[in-house]
Amino acid sequence: MTSTLHPLAVPETYNYIATFLTLACNLDCSYCINLHEDTTGGRKRILTEHMTGEEWVAAIDRIETAGSTPITLQGGEPTVYKEFYHVVSRVKEGVQFDLLTNLQFDPAEFARKVPRELFSRQAPYAPIRVSYHPGQNKIEELIPKTHALMEAGFRVGLYGVLHPSFKDHILDVQTQCLKEGIDFRTKEYLGVFKNEANGVYRYPHAIEGLFNKYCDCKTTELLISPSGHVYRCHSDLYEARPAVGHILDPKFRILDIFKPCFVYGHCNPCDVKVKTNRFQQYGHTSCEIEHIRELTPEEEARRAQGDNGVLPPGPVVWKRDARQPVEVS
């Protein structure tokens, strides 16, 4: 399958390319964005089939980006993917990665196995971005590990989420890190806390899970799941809804168009929050949404059968581990 892959052109309007190597994680944050719609089901609910390291290399090698958009390795925790070091040491020359991590790994092993030039992109923020999660990973360990990676020649930044429960602590840690020469930045908490949606969202009520409506939606992000499926948004990926294609399908193309959606109202905060784009300009939203209206009875019947709007009409079902939708008789 991988030998006939043609290059996959990413539209210039795309702002972000994410490879979710795995959704598994070695921490268990109660506010994890992967579990936005259902914090009770745990991570097992969202774990899916994983591509092999060789398949990830083929997938990444076919991606042709316009300009300087990096390929972000994320999850879950991407470094717990068992072939992480295989992937980063085998991709084609010139690939530029960003890494989102909780830094539970050994910095010495990382420095030994990872070529510096993969994470050498010049940008207003560090290519390796470490999240500090109070009560999960320890700041007393993160600070020396961050120093170790910096001394090994990597650009690293620490990030803390301003969750209402520990905002003051995060700000104290930020002061301490800045004094030590560590780039520590804060991130807005996204999600619902005490029945209130935190964050600035372009589309009201989109993340509250209170209704299913129709809309047309266009993304600016290439999102590839652990199984290699390409999703039109984070919500579809985390909820394992039908995908728009598979990254190793030779026929797969990225269509920079609006697509119908039957589950507007169940968006993930990552898809609809107002944020900065890759040029650090504020006001960007990953997904553009228009024509919001009630579902027709036919659309509601399709939604009830698991169609989020991407399946062709007819007797087609989605099996989350299959690489294509399956025809049923």
- Contact footprint for ligand SF4 (CB under 6 A): 25, 27-29, 32, 34, 75-77, 102, 131, 133, 136, 215, 217, 232-233, 235-236, 261, 263-264, 266-267, 271, 287, 289
The CB-of-94 to ligand SF4 minimum distance in angstroms stands at 28
Complete DSSP assignment for 129-142: EEEE-TTTS-HHHH
Cβ 128 vs Cβ 96: under 8 Å: no
Identify the three-state secondary structure at position 34.
helix
Please identify, using beta-carbon distances, which residue of 74 and 174 lies nearer to ligand SF4.
74
Residues pairing with 72 in the sheet:
18, 98
Identify the three-state secondary structure at position 264.
strand
Phi (first) and psi of residue 73, to 5 degrees: -90, 120
Residue 16: both structure tokens together? 């972000």
Amino acid at 38: D
The CB-of-288 to ligand SF4 minimum distance in angstroms stands at 9
How buried is residue 44: exposed, middle or buried, by Cβ count under 10 Å (0-12/13-18/19+)? exposed
Please identify, using beta-carbon distances, which residue of 155 and 163 lies nearer to ligand SF4.
163
Determine the Cα angle at 72 with ends 235 and 225, to 5°. Answer: 40
Please identify, using beta-carbon distances, which residue of 264 and 318 lies nearer to ligand SF4.
264
Among candidates 19, 13, 10, which has minimal Cα distance to 224?
Answer: 19
Please identify, using beta-carbon distances, which residue of 90 and 169 lies nearer to ligand SF4.
169
Cβ 43 vs Cβ 24: under 8 Å: yes
Contacts of residue 179, Cβ cutoff 8 Å, sequence gap at least 6: none
Cβ 137 vs Cβ 175: under 8 Å: no
Phi (first) and psi of residue 303, to 5 degrees: -60, -40
The CB-of-24 to ligand SF4 minimum distance in angstroms stands at 9
Please identify, using beta-carbon distances, which residue of 58 and 309 lies nearer to ligand SF4.
309
Residues pairing with 201 in the sheet:
273
Please identify, using beta-carbon distances, which residue of 76 and 127 lies nearer to ligand SF4.
76
The CB-of-289 to ligand SF4 minimum distance in angstroms stands at 5
The CB-of-27 to ligand SF4 minimum distance in angstroms stands at 4
Please identify, using beta-carbon distances, which residue of 58 and 267 lies nearer to ligand SF4.
267
The CB-of-1 to ligand SF4 minimum distance in angstroms stands at 27
Residue 28: both structure tokens together? 């268990």
The CB-of-275 to ligand SF4 minimum distance in angstroms stands at 14
Please identify, using beta-carbon distances, which residue of 57 and 173 lies nearer to ligand SF4.
173
The CB-of-216 to ligand SF4 minimum distance in angstroms stands at 9
